[in-house]
Structure 1
Amino acid sequence: MKVLHFHFGKDGGAERFFVHLLNGFAERGVEQKVIIRPDRTWKPLIDGSVEVMESHFRTFSLDRLMLPLRVSALIRQWKPDCVFGWMPKGAKLVPANPEPLRLVRLGDYPTTLSKFRNIDTVVCNTPGIARHVREMGWKRGVEVISNFTSMERVAPFDRATLDTPRDAFLIASMGRFVPRKGFDVLVRALALRPDAYLWLIGNGEQEANLRDLASQLNVLERVRFLGWRKDPRPYVAASNCFAMASSHEPLGNVVLEAWAQSVPVVSTRSEGPAWFMRDGENGLLVDIGDHEGFAAGFARIEKEDGLAGKIIDGGLQTLQTTFSREAVVQAYLDLFASRATGAAGGNIKSPPAPRP
């Protein structure tokens, strides 16, 4: 099996999943070539068997003209079984060559189908995105294959290194510092929890605003801005609770990553978490923008006997039954092989839904 990937994302949960999936394919003997942006921090984490090429593929750049020609020549020479564009920008590079299976993988709701003109099958990571694509008028194949994350437990990072008391209630969160991620909500929640500390893993355009807000609320001394980390797991593992405050989150890879470290999660009722999380069973759910709800959730996890353990167990069970590495990798391999049987993209398929 040969697969050619195009991925022009930056740094985030979607990129971590991309690396996990590449490595999962490599373990199953899939030959892979990938084209990614230059200087990605996660490039060294890609399995050594994968051939990595780099290009910006930007508008008004020489790459914009030359890369499609290089890709067409590569397909003719290497003859991949599948050409796999990640997100709309990756889909634009998928050529019209009908011989390999041509896929796009979506982790968010598209606003247009125009970039998918050469695509045979759209792969969505949630049923909601798949329904949205169909409602937009997509007539070709749609598959739902969700994400997985590494289940490896890691040693927690030493809190003292970040000047955080060992006995403090520590909240962790991570992602790009953009408005829809809701980190300001967590800073406001922290102001209601004078005994707690907050570690924010990531970076982005809102960092200065978040620092200003923390200063205005007199909590800056209890917030740690950790920047982007190649491996955020030790920092998550060091926390008592993981928080995801997004107003829009199609899936929520970070929730899966927190569960894998046996850390309880408090999340908004955004699209993805509302699909696979059950309040009080595998996490706590609060309304979008509700900083008081987050503060109350943190207090429950800290003080309510048995609650943290219960939702940790529920999260691990959901991770194993709905988001297992083996099931996700096999679903993709079955899809790649389907071109040989002419069955690609027949129906919307979904992993088992979490128990209501």
Structure 2
Amino acid sequence: MTLLAHLQAEMFVRRWKPNAVMAWMPRARQLIHRWPNTEKLARMGDFPANLKHFQKCDILVGNLPGISNRCMELGWTKPVVTVSNFTRKASASMSQLNIKRTSKNDFVIAASGRLAARKGFDVLLKALDRLKNCTLWLMGDGEEKARLDAIAAELGISQRVFLGVGSTSR
């Protein structure tokens, strides 16, 4: 990190007087200083090998329980919390997947996630159009569901795509 970045972080905290500052990326934790009256948090998106670079932090936030547990195993004595950015478990019965339409000779491609444009599920549909003897189980829900249905219909592959199952659990 440059000296300018440190000076800017210092200036922002002095000017804005936030209650909390969070380092979202690993390198960003270098910009955390010992600001009084400001909680310093670091988001932990991976399992750390050590915690030597987080000593100025007041709280560590793991995005998985295992990451939070790892921080405690490494000797972290300050608060550790888990705030997951993953959806809750959902279950679906085989009848919900409508597998009766799947030929036993078909290769099944399964994908799941929130049906959002940035996920690129439309690319998966276009790839399926080029494959024979394949069925796609696309499990999820979201704002792109109707558009993905329309793409499958336009490509003539609707009979090989099972779209849906469940609801967005955000």
TM-score for the superposition, normalised by structure 2: 0.59
Residue 240 (structure 1) aligns with: 136
Residues 109 and 81 of structure 1: is their aligned pair in 2 closer, same or farther, counting only changes over 3 Å? same
Specify the code of the residue in structure 1 equivalent to 2:69: R
CA drift of 1:98 comes to: 2.4
Residue 80 (structure 2) aligns with: 142
Q: Distance in 2 between matches of 1:128 and 1:165?
A: 36
Residues 68 and 156 of structure 1: is their aligned pair in 2 closer, same or farther, counting only changes over 3 Å? closer
Residue 79 (structure 1) aligns with: 17
Does the CA contact (< 8 Å) of 2:115 and 2:121 recur in 1? Answer: no
Residue 259 (structure 1) aligns with: 140
Specify the code of the residue in structure 2 equivalent to 1:118: K
- Work out whether 1:132 is the aligned partner of 2:70: yes
Specify the code of the residue in structure 1 equivalent to 2:129: R
CA drift of 1:241 comes to: 4.6
Residues 294-309 of structure 1: matches in 2 within 5 Å? none
Residues 71 and 159 of structure 1: is their aligned pair in 2 closer, same or farther, counting only changes over 3 Å? closer
CA drift of 1:156 comes to: 5.9
Residues 95 and 241 of structure 1: is their aligned pair in 2 closer, same or farther, counting only changes over 3 Å? farther
Residues 96 and 260 of structure 1: is their aligned pair in 2 closer, same or farther, counting only changes over 3 Å? farther
Residues 146 and 167 of structure 1: is their aligned pair in 2 closer, same or farther, counting only changes over 3 Å? same
Residues 166 and 110 of structure 1: is their aligned pair in 2 closer, same or farther, counting only changes over 3 Å? same
- 3-state SS in 1 of match to 2:32: coil
Q: Which has the larger radius of gyration?
A: 2
Of Structure 1 and Structure 2, which has the larger fraction of its residues in helix? Answer: 1
CA drift of 1:65 comes to: 1.9
Residues 113-262 of structure 1: matches in 2 within 5 Å? 113-148=51-86, 157=122, 164=127, 166=129, 168=131, 195-196=133-134, 240-241=136-137, 259-260=140-141
Residue 29 (structure 2) aligns with: 91
* Cα RMSD, aligned residues only: 3.6
Does the CA contact (< 8 Å) of 1:125 and 1:146 recur in 2? Answer: yes
Give identity over the alignment, percent. Answer: 26
Number of corresponding residues:
127
